[in-house]
Amino acid sequence: MADLKSKSKLDSKTPFGGKLRRCTRSRSPLRQDKDAERARLPWVIQLHGEGILRPSLCMERGKNRREGIKPLVLKLAIPLALPLAGFVFSTITRKCRTRNRAPSSASSREGSLSMDFSESVSLYESEDEESSRGQEEAQREPMEHCDPSEVVRVQCSEKLEGEISSLKCLVSAMDDRASESESQFQDYRDTKEKESLFQKLQIMCLGFQLECLEARNQRLEATIADQQTALEKLEEMRAELKWLRREGKKLAKVDGLHLHEARRQARILGAREAELLQMKEELRYVKDLADQLQEEKKVLDRQMDSLAAKYQSASEVTKLQPFCSY
């Protein structure tokens, strides 16, 4: 926690004078753990609008994100965070080196200027001394025969002229050194401005890349959500299909039972029909026997009638015989 606090304090201001804006909103425990892991990495800075910088990690995200998206986000964030961290670290080290070099370069320049000035002064003094010695030696011979006051006046004027010429040479040398140092400083400032502009452009490009990745991530999240809804619908359809299969199996079983019962009933009906046919045949046979017996009865009745008539006639004849005997 102390490392996170120190990191947040150090990263609250950027080296370009911008400010970082943090997103403050309620977060879930999983998102807090994720933000804590990202906070251990170096901050990634984006340039927005009028020189205001903010971390791209605080962009607005949807509240209803599913758990299946987090591994994908981690896979995308880790490869991006490592090169960005290297870039930020290299820029920080480069700036520290330039800051350390600036005073040393200034002191070295001052020392070099002082050394050059002292060397130039010593060289000019030695040249003046040599020239004055040559002039004195050359002028001693004719001046030995002149007035000493004139000799002193001439020597003073010559010394003043030599000093003036040496000072003019020093001033011209100092002007040359100043113009050279000014041109070097201008070149250094131009290079630094170009470096800062290049770094800003790099940061802007990285910001655009991150925005593109964020948009792609959102599109992937939308496609994943659509796929998840499609999978849910597919699962529902599978469950419905299983239920229909179970119902079909149940109906098939019921149909099988009904078919078995129908076959059994058909067999029973067939047996009954066979019995009925047999009974019909027996009834027909019985009817035939009854008809035959009826005919035989009729024949027997006729025979009985004939016999009864014969018996009656015979009885009458027997009754009449005694009377005939009398």
Residues 160-214: tens digit of each pLDDT: 787 788 888 888 888 888 888 888 888 888 888 888 888 888 888 888 888 889 9
Where would I find the H helices in the chain? Answer: 2-10, 29-39, 70-143, 148-325
Phi, psi of 195 (to 5 degrees): -65, -45
Residues 97-125: what's their mean pLDDT?
Answer: 52
Q: What gap in Å lies between CA 292 and CA 302, rounded to an integer? A: 15
Q: What gap in Å lies between CA 199 and CA 206, rounded to an integer? A: 10
213 compared with 135, residue with greater pLDDT: 213
Instruction: Summarize pLDDT for 4-29 with one digit per residue, the tens.
Output: 444 444 444 444 344 444 444 445 55
CB 92 within 8 A of CB 57: no
Q: What gap in Å lies between CA 21 and CA 8, rounded to an integer? A: 11
Vertex 227: Cα angle to 221 and 229 (nearest 5): 105
CB 20 within 8 A of CB 12: yes
Phi, psi of 23 (to 5 degrees): -90, 125
Q: What gap in Å lies between CA 298 and CA 255, rounded to an integer? A: 61
CB 198 within 8 A of CB 36: no
Q: With bands split at pLDDT 50, 70 and 90, how would you rate the model's confidence at 46?
A: very low
pLDDT at 84: 65
Instruction: Summarize pLDDT for 295-318 with one digit per residue, the tens.
Output: 888 888 888 888 888 878 877 777
pLDDT at 149: 60
Phi, psi of 50 (to 5 degrees): -95, 60
pLDDT at 199: 85
Q: What gap in Å lies between CA 187 and CA 252, rounded to an integer? A: 94
Q: Whose structure tokens read 């080196």?
A: 97
CB 210 within 8 A of CB 44: yes
pLDDT at 78: 60
pLDDT at 233: 93
Q: What gap in Å lies between CA 102 and CA 96, rounded to an integer? A: 10
CB atoms within 10 A of CB 46: 21
pLDDT at 69: 55
CB 158 within 8 A of CB 135: yes
Residue 117 has pLDDT above 60, yes or no: no
Instruction: Summarize pLDDT for 214-268 with one digit per residue, the tens.
Output: 989 999 999 999 999 999 999 999 999 999 999 999 998 888 888 888 888 888 9
Residues 44-71: what's their mean pLDDT?
Answer: 44
Q: What gap in Å lies between CA 220 and CA 240, rounded to an integer? A: 29
Residues 97-102: what's their mean pLDDT?
Answer: 56
pLDDT at 168: 82
Strand partners, 46: 54
CB 222 within 8 A of CB 38: no
Dihedral of CA 52/58/64/70: which sign?
Answer: positive
